Structure 1
């Protein structure tokens, strides 16, 4: 079924012919790679015969099926603007390539170009994940002769073959107190600002909550006796819905909640759109002259670092932040060497105070004993 030819350039060409399918030809740098490709392609063709898959119509491109996929999924749900933007960028990049001709070399070139642009590995992985959805749609719904795992395999190879750091930008930008003060000061001049951003910002710093969580808190979920709140459908790597969690509100956060609730008995504590909160914060940052790209979400990093700074342990901080394991949580901590010295000195002071108190109690007991003896 497969024939191999060594070219004058030293490369190897493989030609695969199968009844009912268009001939498949590809060129590789070694005979080993050519034979591996042939073996994998022959397996796919065998599967096509068994499952009844068909070749894509002549002239069908990746761009055509990206559009087709978007029409298919948007009947049932609305995509976020960010996802639509990525799909359009993928269409611009791969749109003219035949859907059946899309190959690993195309994706490798895409990854390399994104690296040159300075894009982080996690962003590239997200792009490939969306492309993978299109390929799976072609394979499962359209029954086309395509490799549904092509983009997934490229995405999973990022950490190894391309040695990219799959890491979010946000862990690098912890706002300083002076930056936060400058941003809050901007809102003092905004007389028509509907959102009470200074209080929302402070609440984020006191709780480490995401803006979506803050804007989703309902008065009905507050427990006035225990000073806690139930966060509904909290973000979780596995559970998308029904992941409700009861979280304590520290005194400073609880004070803000009481002011916002007032005499109301139902509804949202912070009746704001989370996207509006994010936009207002970003605009104020620019007006405040803060040069670093600090976002509202970065308040979460500072809050978690502050929690550790006041002496909360890992399980306690994880409950506040909603993290499930230390490996994830530690990405949000930014403890400095000076923080360790401060914590150690604070611990020594507490231990010394306790020792002094014990000595004073012992001395007082001794004096009272001597006084009773003298009276007797």
Structure 2
């Protein structure tokens, strides 16, 4: 790891640099063959030294028993603590939509197209860059049920007390969502599970 940057991130950055060099050569006619050759040789050395690597694929899936344990844990916390996040609903929204926690926490109410059963997800993660990469995501019936729960005044007003934007479906901090999930797993003896792993 280079100063806290994951090897896979470094590899992606170098890949982007390579794309820029190819563009400069093809479109602008710049003579940068030597620079491209140096980058290519550098990549070979970095890969052999394992300084840069491809990201590892995770195959961890959440078990039915774990879902029950976490749902009960989060619901009890929601009932007990006034300034809690409704994680019992957030987790199931992640399951039924297949969205990342960062995407869930950026879902804007104005992007909800109820008539066509879809929600515009903004800046979806993409190898070519997420900025402006908006997609309309189809919502299944179970996702609608969770959304309706989240929009109930008794739940929404409590979330808004946390001080985040009224324009969002989930006016909560994405890091807090991750922290809640990690802490719940630790308290319940659930190992190697992330919010990301709940996505179907």
TM-score by length of 1: 0.39
Aligned to 2:21: none
Aligned to 1:269: 169
Distance 2:64 2:108 in 1: 29
Residue 197, structure 1, aligned to residue 87, structure 2: yes
> CA, structure 1 residues 250+131, in 2 after alignment: closer, same or farther (shift >3 Å)?
closer
- Which of 118, 137, 141 is matched with 1:251 structurally? 141
**Counterpart contact for 1:128–1:154, Cα < 8 Å:** no
> CA, structure 1 residues 299+251, in 2 after alignment: closer, same or farther (shift >3 Å)?
same
Residue 278, structure 1, aligned to residue 170, structure 2: no
Distance 2:61 2:41 in 1: 34
Higher relative contact order (CA 8 A, sep 6+): 2
Distance 1:202 1:248 in 2: 16
Aligned to 1:288: 188
Aligned to 1:97: none
Aligned to 1:173: 60
> CA, structure 1 residues 237+166, in 2 after alignment: closer, same or farther (shift >3 Å)?
closer
Structure 1 window deviating more from structure 2 (217-226 vs 183-192): it is: 183-192
Aligned-residue Cα RMSD (Å) equals 3.4
Count of residue pairs the alignment pairs up: 166
- Three-state SS of the structure 2 residue aligned to 1:230 is strand
Query: Structure 2 unaligned runs (5+)?
Result: 16-34, 157-165
Q: How big is the shift at 1:212?
A: 0.6
Structure 1 runs, 4 residues or longer, greater than 6 Å off: 128-132, 147-152, 162-165
**Counterpart contact for 2:11–2:53, Cα < 8 Å:** no
Aligned to 2:108: 218
Distance 1:220 1:261 in 2: 13
- Three-state SS of the structure 2 residue aligned to 1:229 is strand
> CA, structure 1 residues 171+125, in 2 after alignment: closer, same or farther (shift >3 Å)?
closer
Residue 126, structure 1, aligned to residue 25, structure 2: no
Q: How big is the shift at 1:217?
A: 0.6
